[in-house]
Amino acid sequence: MERPNGFKGFAIMSIGEIVSLIGSAMTEFGLAIWIWQKTGNATPFSILTTTFVVSNLIFSPIAGAFIDRWPRKRSLILPDLASAIVTFLTLILYLYGKLSLPFLYVAAFVSGAFNGFQWPAYSVTISAMLKKEEYGKANGLFSMTQSGPSFIAPALAGFLLPFIKLGGIMIVDLITFVAAFGAILWVKIPENKRIQTEMKIKNVLKDSVFGFKYIYRVKPLLALLSVFLVVNFFLNAWMPLISPMILAKFHDSSVILGIVQSSFGAAGVAGGALMTFWGGTKRKVVSLILGIILSAVGIILLGIANTVLFVVVAVVVISVTAVVANASSQAIWQSVVPLEIQGRVFSARKFIAQFIGVIPMALSGPFIDFYLSGKINSSAVLSAIFGAGKGGAIAFLASFSGIAVGIVGVVALFSPVIMNVEKTKPAEFQELT
C-alpha cells in the first residue's frame, strides 16, 4: 500500500499531532488548576512560561541547523518524544506526592529546548511536501493543530478531573503520543537533500547564526519581522496570565476557565478551517495586517469583558484573526525563503520575533501580584471597568496591550516596505555560507 504524501499526507500528520496535543493540553489544564490551588498567585504562571520560552529561544537557532541537516522525520518526532518523557516523569512525581514548582520549572526548560524543533520542522515540511499555492491552506490546517486541542482539551479535562484526577489526565496524555508518532512514520515526506552524518560543532554553530545573517540582509523580511517583535512584546505582557485572570474574575471556576479556553480553541479551529479553504487574500500581507488590527480589537474587548458571554465573544475575535495573520505571515516566508535554508532562517526568525517578549513575560506576574492589583483596587473607576484585584489588573494589562498592538498594525498598514514584502527576491544565500 502506497504511503500518503502531498496535502493528504500532511493532513494525516496534522490529525495525529492534534490527537497528541489534545493530551498535552489536558495535562497543561490540570497543572494550571493544581498551581492556582497551591499558590493563588500569577507569578508561577509567568515563571513557567518564561522558562519555557527562554529555553526555546536559546536552542531554536541550534535546532534550525540540525533541521536543515537531519532526516525530516527525526526533527518532527524528537519534540513529541521529549514531551512524552517529561510527562512520564511528572506523572511519577505526582503519584508519589513529590510534584513541586521547581520541578515544573525544570520540566518547562527541557520541554522548551526540544520544542524549538517543532515549529520550524513543520514549516519546512510544508514547503517540502506541497506546492506554493497550497501554502496558505496548509498553514491554516497546521494552525488547527495548535487550536484544536485548546477547543477539546479544557472541556474534556474539566469533566474528567473529578473522576480520574491529574494522574489519570497525564496517563491519557501519554497514550495520545502514539497518534503523532504513528502518523509521522506512516506518511511519505521528501527527504532532506542536505543530510549530513558528520555534525562538527564548528559547522553547527556557523549554521546557527546563518539565519540571522540572511534575515538582516533581506530588509523587507526584517521589517515584517519587526512588526511581530513589537506585537509579541505586548502580547506576552498578559497572555501567560489568561488562566489566573479568568479564575480570579469568576470565583476560581474551573468550568468557566474550561469554557473560555475551549472557546479559544474552537475559534482557532474556525480560523484554521477558514484559511484551509480560503488561503488568505491574494496579497497575503493584507490579510496579515488586517488580522493583527482586528485581533487588537478583540484583546481590548477581552480586558473590559465582565460576563462569560462577553469574554467568549472577545476570545473568538482574537483567535480567528490571529490564525489568519499567522498563516498569512507563514505563507509569505515560505514563498520568499529558499527551501534549503528554511530550517535555519525560520529558527532565527522565531528567536528575533520573541526574544524581547521574554521581558514582559517574566515581569508581568510579579508586577500584577505586588503592584498593579493594589493600584486597581484603589481606583473605583478602573475597578468598575476591569474588575477588582488580580483579575482586574491582568484585564487592564490586556486592554492596554490591545491598544498598543492596534497602533503597530495601523503603522504597518501604511509602510511601503512591509506592504510590498511579497515582491522580495530571495537573496543569494550561497554567499553567506
pLDDT of residue 43: 87
SS3 128: helix
Q: Identify the residue whose cell numbers are 555560507.
A: 433
For 3, which DSSP code?
P
280: left (phi over 0), alpha (psi -120 to 50) or beta: left
pLDDT of residue 430: 47
What stretches of 236-340 show up as alpha helix (H) in DSSP?
Answer: 242-249, 254-278, 284-304, 308-336
pLDDT of residue 261: 83
Structural contact between residues 327 and 275, judged by C-beta atoms closer than 8 angstroms: yes
Question: What is the four-CA torsion angle of 51, 140, 310, 389, rounded to 10 degrees?
Answer: 10
pTM of structure: 0.74
pLDDT of residue 13: 92
Whole-angstrom distance, CA of residue 371 vs CA of residue 248: 16
CB atoms within 10 A of CB 28: 20
**pLDDT by residue, tens only, the chain of 433 residues:** 678 888 899 999 999 998 999 999 999 999 998 998 899 888 898 899 889 989 998 888 888 888 888 888 988 999 999 999 999 999 999 999 999 999 999 999 999 999 888 888 888 888 888 887 788 788 888 888 877 787 788 878 888 888 999 999 999 999 999 999 999 999 998 877 665 545 555 576 777 889 999 999 999 999 999 999 999 999 999 988 998 999 899 988 878 888 898 888 889 889 988 988 888 888 999 999 999 999 999 999 999 999 999 999 999 999 999 999 999 999 999 989 988 889 889 988 988 988 888 889 889 999 999 899 999 999 999 999 999 899 999 999 999 999 999 999 999 999 999 999 998 876 554 444 4
Length of the chain: 433
Whole-angstrom distance, CA of residue 300 vs CA of residue 335: 33
Structural contact between residues 249 and 241, judged by C-beta atoms closer than 8 angstroms: no
318: cell is: 482574537
Helix (H) or strand (E) holding 12: helix 6-39
pLDDT of residue 433: 45
pLDDT of residue 257: 86
177: cell is: 503520543
